[in-house]
Amino acid sequence: MTTSPSRLSHVVLKSHDPKALMEWYCDALGGRIIFDSPFFVFMTYDEEHHRVAAMLSDQPPAKGGNGLMHLAFGFDDVDQLLDHYQRLAANGTKPATGIHHGPTISLYYKDPDDNVVEFFIDTMPQDEATEFMMGPVYAGNPVGYEIEAEDMLAARAAGKSSEEIIAFDTHKEVDVMAVLGRQMELLS
């Protein structure tokens, strides 16, 4: 029997400017710096003593970050995701792209070191998401389709329910390779 960890504790990034990077994460995650030195900076946004940290690197960030595909942070519902979007947008931080993947709705951002950060919500319970990902709809479109947070805000303002806003359009025609290509371009 395999023993699995009970949780993901923290992420440590390399950066040429750990303080600036952690200040961005404090803003993006609503957190605070709990340790600051010239060599490494730790921040948290919850009960964990440190969630995201940055260590000084003598290498400038490469385009697309330093080898990381992305970090993902989940919200409980679409209203929290949209509130978060609005708070970051008010500070001048906009997503590079948004995707409705089916089991999740994700807004992807770039941090100051060019790493990709995903803020998402689950659109279905875990067992349904697993079944969906093993099924024919996902096999035909494993990427999803592009979305705009502003469209979700407009739908909410027009009185649409959370269920209507997060519903995945299984009949939407999508050029999967074109969407994937745009995503890779925007996020690299």
The three-class DSSP label of residue 113 is coil
Do 78 and 37 contact (CB within 8 A), yes or no?
no
Give the model confidence (pLDDT) of 99-129 as tens digits.
Answer: 999 999 999 999 998 888 999 999 999 899 9
Give the model confidence (pLDDT) of 135-151 as tens digits.
Answer: 999 888 888 999 999 99
What's the CATH fold of domain 70-188?
Answer: 2,3-Dihydroxybiphenyl 1,2-Dioxygenase; domain 1 (3.10.180)
Give the model confidence (pLDDT) of 6-60 as tens digits.
Answer: 677 889 888 888 999 999 999 999 999 999 988 889 899 998 888 998 988 877 6
Domain boundaries of the chain, sorted by first residue: 7-58, 70-188
Q: What is the CATH number of domain 7-58?
A: 3.30.720.120
pTM assigned to the model: 0.83
Do 154 and 66 contact (CB within 8 A), yes or no?
no
Neighbouring residues of 130: CB distance < 8 A, sequence distance ≥ 6: none
